[in-house]
Amino acid sequence: MVISADPRSSKIVVIASSTGGVQALERIFSDFPAEIPPIVVVQHLPDGIARSFAYRLNNSLKCTVSEAKSGDIVRAGHILIAPGGLHIFLKENRGQLVVECFHGKRLHGVMPSADVLFESASQVLKRNAVGVILTGMGADGAGGLLKMRKSGSRTIGQDKETSIVYGMPKVAKSIGAVEFELPLNRISSKIMQLSCS
């Protein structure tokens, strides 16, 4: 079953980032209009730091930003940040899209792992998702983003020139997971375009 958090408007957006990602996310979010699609983020941060990051964003943006907890409903106008030290995935629960957070094995040496989130999006959302991979070391998220693209999702990767570390997006591009490679200053508008198409 393919479900939507808000069937009247937009696709669900899932974003992954690591080294340099805090700054990249702040730039993307600050460029968003007041009305935004549902967004779930994996940023590689330790426990406590992710909570502080979400709190800071919530106080500086027009939308609502919070650290995710199991059972949170994915809804328009709300950004959920994966908690430090826990994986996060999407699932359907009684007709609603919710997140589940759990402690598991590290993937690519990290937890939360973007692959866990992206793979759940490929299974639950299919064409009703936009996947974004930003600056970061390593390969986390590349395989999951490829699964998203193969399932019909639209995908975006940050370009080399604007990435602090062109690792995660580079690997994603090399395996064919990236549909649109863009500089940081064009990613927010592309997210909005794709999420409403």
User: Which residues touch 180 (CB under 8 Å, ≥6 apart)?
Assistant: 154, 155, 156, 157, 190
pLDDT of residue 5 exceeding 60, the answer is no
Choosing from 4, 10, 17, 18, the catalytic residue is 18
**Has 87 been annotated as catalytic?**
no
Q: Is residue 190 a contact partner of residue 31, using CB atoms and an 8 Å limit?
A: no
Choosing from 4, 10, 17, 44, the catalytic residue is 44
Give the pLDDT confidence score for residue 56 in this predicted structure: 96
- Write the DSSP assignment of 46-78 as a string of letters: -TTHHHHHHHHHHHHSSSEEEE--TT-B--TTE
Choosing from 72, 115, 140, 159, the catalytic residue is 140
Share of the chain above pLDDT 70, in %: 95
pTM of the full predicted structure? 0.94
pLDDT of residue 131 exceeding 60, the answer is yes
Give the pLDDT confidence score for residue 48 in this predicted structure: 87
> If we measure between CA atoms, which residue out of 57, 51, 49 comes closest to residue 26?
57
The 10s digit of each residue's pLDDT in 134-144 is: 999 999 999 99
CATH class of domain segment(s) 12-195: alpha beta
pLDDT of residue 8 exceeding 50, the answer is no
Give the pLDDT confidence score for residue 95 in this predicted structure: 87
Structural domain boundaries in the chain: 12-195
Give the pLDDT confidence score for residue 91 in this predicted structure: 96
Residue 196 pLDDT level (bands cut at 50, 70, 90): confident
pLDDT of residue 50 exceeding 50, the answer is yes
**Has 18 been annotated as catalytic?**
yes
Alpha carbon distance 66, 72 (integer Å): 10
**Has 140 been annotated as catalytic?**
yes
Alpha carbon distance 197, 183 (integer Å): 21
